[in-house]
Amino acid sequence: MKRTKLTRGEFPGPLGCDHPWYLDEVLAYVGETYPSLFLECYAGAAGTTLTLLLNNRVQRGILVVGDPYLGAFWREALKTDNLIRKAMKFKAKQANVEEVASNPDRDPAFWTLVKSQCSWQGRLDRKAFLEWNVAKAWKRETILESLSKVRSLSDRLDVIEGQGVEILEPYGEAIAFFQYPFDWYDKWNEALREKWHSEQEQEKLFQILASRKGRWILPSPSEKMAEWSEAKQMGAAWIVCRKLSRPWVRVPILVSDRQFAADQNERSFADENSFRESMEKKRSP
């Protein structure tokens, strides 16, 4: 099966509420193993899983979503052509978008699509306001293409709606990727965000991860998770160095493979030192 070189954000998905920020790191962790099952937990736009599937880097995927509106969207987008037909006919005028956005329970799947495309930053929460030019925000051709790609994965991608970490237990041999919403910023459901970041839920997750056979990757772990991991020697911190507005930004990612983390950290720190040396040479007269 042909596999192509990936770039981060290659397929962010049909929803505007999330992006595959850790695609490069997940791809490095998956490597060329072509795992039989990839589990993305608490997926928003699910861009990571979708990109891996479309580029044949994994055989099958499962999305675990905690929000019922996201669950409704993914079930309908994968198993029917309804959203494609609705998106094709929809005229994104201000009045039409406001009508859809004001009634999420009338058609939860289509509401999620419209709200994520036409609200600021793709936010789905009640505080989100619409873009000033919703007609421009509604990129019909791009949306239709994305929905068609999702539909093509109906036999390789499943969706599970659940809010507790216990849902992971039946999939102990899958590679698991945990994309928790940021604890300081939420785009979907504030109550779920608080639940996922509670110490009780974090402790449950730690216990489940400790007993899993499959590999796992957890970006931006909480302080508690990092402490437990270090104390119990369960997994290890992979320190990813990214060059952004500053020379580098260190992003911690917990992974189950301790040797992988050690190798990547050695490489990252070498790159960082090389970058620092090159900057010092440029500054010297």
Domains of the chain: 23-283 (3.40.50.150)
Tokens of 72: 């409704």
Strand 175-178 versus strand 216-219 pairing type:
parallel
Per-position pLDDT tens, the chain of length 285? 555 555 444 676 888 776 777 888 999 999 888 999 999 987 677 888 999 999 999 999 999 888 889 899 999 999 999 999 999 999 999 999 999 999 999 999 999 999 999 998 888 877 778 889 999 999 999 999 999 999 999 999 999 988 777 888 888 889 999 877 655 555 556 677 777 778 888 888 888 888 888 999 998 888 888 888 888 888 999 988 766 545 567 788 999 999 999 999 988 878 777 777 777 777 776
As a whole number of angstroms, the distance between CA 62 and CA 81 comes to 20
Contacts of 201 (CB under 8 A, 6+ apart): 164, 165, 195
